[in-house]
A and B are shown apart, each in its own frame.
Chain A
């Protein structure tokens, strides 16, 4: 009996030791960090900065690999298939990841539970902007005009089901009667071209890509879709200040793992990545690129992921039903 107990105790201890050893040994080889967008984009820039710091902390190289395509779907499809051993991590871009999963036409072969969020890096709030000589001086002017003559104000997104597209729907919901004529453009550069050329009237985008031009006076921002003002644009009011507290939208970038990574490994990764993101070098480099750092870890990030998914679900369905009309 005692012998048997001792055996159990010994094996339990051995198991525990093995677990600890695994956690301590991790990582034994280079870690891959997948970015579901091409090299040179803002997700990629952030990934390369954090990887270069985290690899010093972890003691093994962290290699950024770009798997661009289909608005991120190619990369996320690959990530969902990876062995959950902690050696393959990837960026998830909320709400883009969510809308790819939620849009039935995309036929994504992974669900929201395919990824375990580890740490969020950047939260870039949505912003409404117009040309400096636009008749819309405030968000109220814009909403009033959209109510007065619905479906005439040409309003640019950065792509179908992008966070900017969902934000337009949120504003329409918050301001009943206001309807925008949605024009899907390919990205921020196209928005700028068409706004300056007078081919669209107003654009929904994110603070990071537009802040320098607002500061220089070339463009006018009407409202930021965050709980507080952006430190890059302290003069621009929030949606809450102008009367639409429910319009909260952003584009976030964070690191996740395929489901099933051992908790000890996740802890190691979370600690190392957090330390890397709190490093002054990381903060300085991202802020100079106009990217607002917002570190969220563990349950906070997981909760944010779930909430974003629920919210995206509602507006994706709306967007789809509107497109069918």
Chain B
């Protein structure tokens, strides 16, 4: 009852002309940041903090939050259109989204992404209102051992990312894990495979790698056969067909669920939920062979997961004051600059602010949908640009994006190198997604394993004495054994 009252007054505030304008401006700026590869939501929010100094705290936070989830959506656009993830969480969307664009279904891909993001965002926000505090407390029980088990589970899902050959997928996963070893080891602080180059001490940047693997290699491939690169998108096909709707609805709900629950656990990051949502769809699908060739579920699920995650990640932040991703950490900085400390007391001390911000999440998600659906046609037009011009534009875009990550020319070289690597791998028909998954999971697996062992003083039984952890380990074994059984020896040899 009390909650409802607060929410109503929150809506009254969020719908006031001034706050509505801030939310609109934030969504538009966020979408722009998402579209620019390299410039991700964290850096984008940090850069735009000074913009909000002149606003009152509520207005500032409404605008920064809008930038945050706007960026999460904007990243999709470039993934679909030019195979360059605009921000890290949109990597998975490249796989099927860009295939859809090549088939002239780019508009549909962007449309379903906008709808999926909307559902994911709204559902997660409703859950934030209804069940936030108890859930957030529960998620805290997710310590390093549970985190390790969850990441291991993610790694076991790699079998779901395999294309024709399981052996090739495993090979690429190991390669990804090896790449993740580069840099300062998370416990001892000793550099590994860094060859005394300080630029390598933090490891290879994830974003330049995926920009190269997907984006640059795409241009190289297309340059061989420019005629094929020209794509006509029928504008009439912006909304999904009945068949596509049928396929997407389940995917959107499942993606939302996965994104929401993983969003509650601080530290997961925005990429893992999208991968899990994608693999879950592929595994549940009766026609898994469509994945990688433009399956609409392959866009709908990760995009819904992505936005559900983004909104759910606000729960540990608002209720406990724990920033669960780099972007939210920046957002927390904005709270503190404005004299507000997020945490359990925030709901009591500043209910006006909290509920106005929460109401603005609803408003913002509606704005994003309204902003993006009409623009889809415009974005899709981009694909009709002649390849010669588009390729130069995309290359320039990638170069600037890679440099803008941390104003380092080193990242530009990493991107170019991985562009060539990606080209070779795709020529050899080696799947890129397992490599990306290995690269993402490598460091959290290692870090959580070693932190767990630090906690237990080196005793491995810590993984077997915590029920949640045991449950996740059992789930991992089921997935692993399940996929091993499905594998006829013939498939292994087909590599």
Checking B43, B202, B408 against A39 with a beta-carbon cut-off of 8 angstroms, the contacting residue is B43
Cβ contacts A39-79/B at 8 Å (1 or 0 each):
11000010000000000000000000111111101100100
A194 touches which of B144, B330, B339 (Cβ 8 Å): B144
CA–CA, A71 and B140, complex, Å: 27
- Interchain CB contact under 8 A, B457 and A152: yes
* Neighbouring B residues of A192 by C-beta, 8 Å: 320-322
- B343 neighbours in A (Cβ, 8 Å): 212-213, 216, 218
- B237 is an interface residue with CB less than 8 A from chain A: no
| A65 to B407 CA separation, bound complex (whole angstroms) | 9
A183 within 8 A of B: yes
User: Could you say which of B143, B188, B266, B455 contacts A160, with CB atoms under 8 Å apart?
Assistant: B188
Q: Are A212 and B333 in contact (CB under 8 A)?
A: no
In the assembled complex, which residues on chain A have CB atoms less than 8 Å from the CB atom of B187? 160, 184
Taking CB atoms, residues of chain B closer than 8 Å to A196 are: 140, 320, 322
Which residues of chain B come closer than 8 Å to A186, judged between CB atoms?
A: 186, 447
Chain A, Cβ-Cβ closest to B49: A40
Does B2 belong to the interface (CB within 8 Å)? no
Question: What residues of A have a CB within 8 angstroms of the CB of B339 in the complex?
Answer: 288
Distance in angstroms from A323 CB to nearest chain B CB is 6
Among B241-269, those with CB < 8 Å from A are 266-267
Partner of A70, one of B142, B202, B320: B202
Contact between A107 and B202 (Cβ–Cβ < 8 Å)? no
Most chain B CB within a 10 A radius of its CB, from A70, A103, A107: A70
Q: Is A22 an interface position by the 8 A CB rule?
A: no
Q: A39-B43, A73-B201, A213-B343 are in contact. Are A189 and B188 (CB under 8 A)?
A: no
Known: A71-B184, A183-B451, A192-B322. A197 touches B141 (CB 8 A): yes
Q: Is the CB of A105 within 8 A of B191?
A: yes
B329 on interface, CB distance cutoff 8 Å: yes
Q: Is the CB of A69 within 8 A of B199?
A: yes
A213 contacts across to B, CB distance below 8 A: 321, 341, 343
Min distance, Cβ A126 to any Cβ of chain B, angstroms:
19
When distances are taken between beta carbons in the complex, the residues of chain A under 8 Å from B42 are: 40
Collect the chain B residues with CB atoms within 8 Å of residue A38's CB.
Answer: 46, 406
Contact with A along B403-418 (1 / 0, CB 8 A): 0001110000000000
Determine if B322 and A193 form an interchain contact, defined as CB atoms under 8 angstroms apart.
Answer: yes
Q: Is the Cβ of B267 less than 8 Å from the Cβ of A193?
A: yes
A152 CA to B321 CA, complexed, in Å: 28
Compute how far the CA of A160 lies from the CA of B333 in the bound complex, rounded to whole angstroms: 24
CB distance from B410 to the nearest CB of A (A): 9
* Size of the chain B interface, CB-CB below 8 angstroms: 48
What is the chain B residue whose CB lies nearest that of A285? Answer: B337
Known: A160-B189, A194-B143. A74 touches B201 (CB 8 A): yes
Q: Which of A190-213 contact B (CB under 8 A)?
A: 190, 192-194, 196-200, 212-213
User: CB of B336 within 8 A of chain A?
Assistant: yes
Q: Is the CB of B266 within 8 A of A193?
A: yes
| Contact (Cβ within 8 A) A73 B321 | no
> Cβ of B323 < 8 Å from any Cβ of A?
yes
* A70 touching B143 in the complex, CB below 8 Å, given contacts A151-B457, A192-B322, A218-B345: no
Residue of A39, A152, A197, A289 near B46 (CB, 8 A) is A39
B344 contacts the other chain (Cβ, under 8 Å)? yes
Chain A hits for B322, CB < 8 A:
189, 192-193, 196
**Partner of B202 from A74, A181, A185 at Cβ < 8 Å:** A74
Contact flag A45-B266 (CB < 8 Å), given A69-B198, A107-B191, A212-B341? no
On chain A, the residues within 8 Å of B49 by CB distance are 40
A203-243 CB contacts (< 8 Å) to partner B: 212-213, 216, 218
- Please report the C-alpha to C-alpha distance between residue A106 and residue B322 in the assembled complex, in whole angstroms: 31
Chain B residue numbers with a CB within 8 Å of A200 are: 455
B190 at the interface (CB under 8 A from A): yes
CB distance from B200 to the nearest CB of A (A): 9
Of B188, B333, B407, B451, the contact of A40 (CB 8 Å cutoff) = B333
**Taking A70-B198, A197-B141 as contacts, is the C-beta distance between A185 and B451 under 8 angstroms?**
yes
CB distance from B324 to the nearest CB of A (A): 8
B196 within 8 A of A: yes
Q: Is A255 close to B, CB under 8 A?
A: no
Contact B341 A216 (CB under 8 A): yes
Decide: A323 and B406 in contact? CB cutoff 8 A. Answer: no
- Identify which of A40, A105, A107 gathers the most chain B CB atoms within 10 Å of its CB: A40
Please tell me if A119 contacts chain B, counting CB pairs below 8 Å: no
Docked pose: A105 CA to B192 CA in angstroms = 10
Inter-chain CA distance A45–B188, complex, in Å, is 29
**Is there contact, CB below 8 Å, between A70 and B188?**
no
Q: Which of A99-117 contact B (CB under 8 A)?
A: 103, 105-107, 109
Q: Cα distance A46–B144 when bound, in Å?
A: 32
Given A68-B406, A70-B201, 16 more A-B residue pairs with CB atoms under 8 Å apart are: A39-B43, A39-B46, A45-B337, A69-B406, A70-B198, A73-B198, A74-B201, A105-B188, A181-B457, A192-B322, A193-B140, A193-B320, A197-B141, A198-B141, A216-B345, A288-B337
Residue positions of B touching A, CB distance < 8 A: 42-43, 46-47, 49, 140-144, 183-184, 186-191, 196, 198-199, 201-202, 266-267, 316, 320-323, 329-330, 333, 336-337, 339, 341, 343-345, 406-408, 447, 451, 454-455, 457
Closest 7 CB pairs of A and B: A70-B201, A199-B143, A197-B140, A40-B46, A160-B189, A212-B341, A183-B454
For this complex, 12 residue pairs linking A to B, each with C-beta atoms less than 8 Å apart, are: A40-B329, A66-B406, A66-B407, A69-B199, A70-B183, A77-B198, A154-B455, A160-B189, A184-B187, A200-B455, A212-B341, A288-B337
